[in-house]
Amino acid sequence: FDACSFGRFAVSENYEGQVDATRLSAPGVVDVSINVQLNRSTQATIVQASLQAVEQKLGLSLPGPFDHVVLIVEECYRVGTDCAFAAYAYVNHWLSLFKGDNFKYPAVQMHEIGHNLNFAHSGGMDGETYTDHTCLMGNPLFSDDVGKMCFNPAKTFQISQGGGGWYDDSHIIEFDSGTWGTTSWSGNIIGVAEYNNNPYNDPVVIKLESGTGRDWFVGFNRAVGSNSDNVEADDSVTIYKVMDGDGLGYSTSSLKGTLRSGQSTAISNWRETGMNLVIEVNEINTKANPGYAHITITFGGPDQPPPPPVTSFLGLALTLSVIGALCLGALFYMLCCCTKNSFIENQDIIFVDESYNGESFEENDDDGSVIHVGYAVK
């Protein structure tokens, strides 16, 4: 997070005197036991009891001085829910939970904290929810020795313009083509991993204003530095679309196309004008410092080509060990979701849970207040 945000998301163990360090088991860690029967309790009951135990031990009300709190449990019992999740997180919130050793995986941690930061999932060109492997919100990495990846341009735009302030406005370009045609933009774009090595102030994201909330985004997926473990479309120009919200809030993004040097593609009937918006990659130079892609975006014009084919374009055990990774600023939050998404709506909080068993399921809490519909994949 520190590398991808260039210091805007800093993990800290400094609680500025607001936490009695003698009550911690280790820096940022507190162990508690809860007085509930685990094999007869729902996840909601266990989480609530865990949070209450942490509050009692630390003498404060959560989240207190912390931006994020992570619960780590040893196991999950199948009581009113499916246990085939690795972790889950509350969207635009401070809480997440990891099961077993999943907290050890850097990419899993960043995926879940991404939900805390209001990120939705990143879908791929096959139309599935988790298959954009240019972005950590698509779950491309799942081990303890890899994790150098950031987020796709749609998420980069969101964390810059929709809250978070990770990147300066000067590195984000919004191209509004209008509806009359004969408009264009041409220039270099660089990868987000080289954001701080940018002597010419080139953009890291280009937003294509669609005139609706379903906007498009273009970036250069440079596979170096903090993005060196990238899985898909290394050093290619990548194109995305969000489902709603103008890219500013919680919305699934979808990878729509990838382009190499000399390739181009078109979005047909752009803004319902009957004209195409063409994206052309003139050059990709990875030997330069920083590496860049030179692209041209053109809307309308007298010689509009038809859209060429492009890559699919258009512990819980008898004693619960709870680690409340409590850190100021940005903390040691650990969370992971790993498969198709499901949502639990509870007032204004969306709960994201991940599952693998290939089935759909529903869950109703004891008081009937929670309805959970999940679509699980392996």
Q: Do the Cβ atoms of 191 and 224 come closer than 8 Å?
A: yes
Q: Do the Cβ atoms of 239 and 257 come closer than 8 Å?
A: yes
3-class DSSP assignment, residue 158: helix
- Residue 376: the pLDDT is 25
Give the torsion sign (CA, 289, 291, 296, 297). Answer: negative
- Residue 309: the pLDDT is 47
pTM, full prediction:
0.79
C-alpha–C-alpha distance, residues 102 and 111, integer Å: 12
- Residue 352: the pLDDT is 34
C-alpha–C-alpha distance, residues 56 and 54, integer Å: 5
Closest by Cα among 331, 2, 337, 279 to 142: 337
C-alpha–C-alpha distance, residues 168 and 180, integer Å: 30
- Residue 304: the pLDDT is 54
- Strands (DSSP E) contained in 37-142 are 69-73, 87-90, 95-99, 122-123
- Residue 275 is inside which H or E element, if any? none
Closest by Cα among 378, 336, 367 to 128: 378
Q: Do the Cβ atoms of 119 and 93 come closer than 8 Å?
A: no
- Residue 216: the pLDDT is 98
The pair of three-digit structure tokens given for residue 355, joined into one six-digit string? 């599952």
Closest by Cα among 37, 31, 84, 38 to 54: 31
Give the pLDDT of the chain (378 residues) as one tens digit per residue.
999 999 999 888 888 889 999 999 998 999 999 999 888 888 889 899 999 999 999 999 999 999 999 999 888 876 766 777 889 999 999 999 999 899 999 899 999 999 999 999 999 999 998 999 999 999 777 777 778 999 999 999 999 998 888 999 999 999 999 999 999 999 999 999 999 999 999 999 999 999 999 999 999 999 999 999 999 999 999 999 999 999 999 999 999 999 999 999 999 999 999 999 999 999 999 999 999 999 999 999 655 544 444 444 343 222 333 333 333 333 333 333 333 332 222 222 233 333 323 332 233 333 332 222 222 222
Question: Beta partners for 68?
Answer: 327
Query: CA 86 → CA 96, 346, 352, distances in Å?
Result: 11, 21, 12
Distance, first Cα to last Cα, the chain: 27
- Residue 266: the pLDDT is 96
Backbone φ and ψ for 241, nearest 5 degrees, come out as -135, 140
- Residue 301: the pLDDT is 67
Query: CA 332 → CA 118, 169, 240, distances in Å?
Result: 17, 28, 30
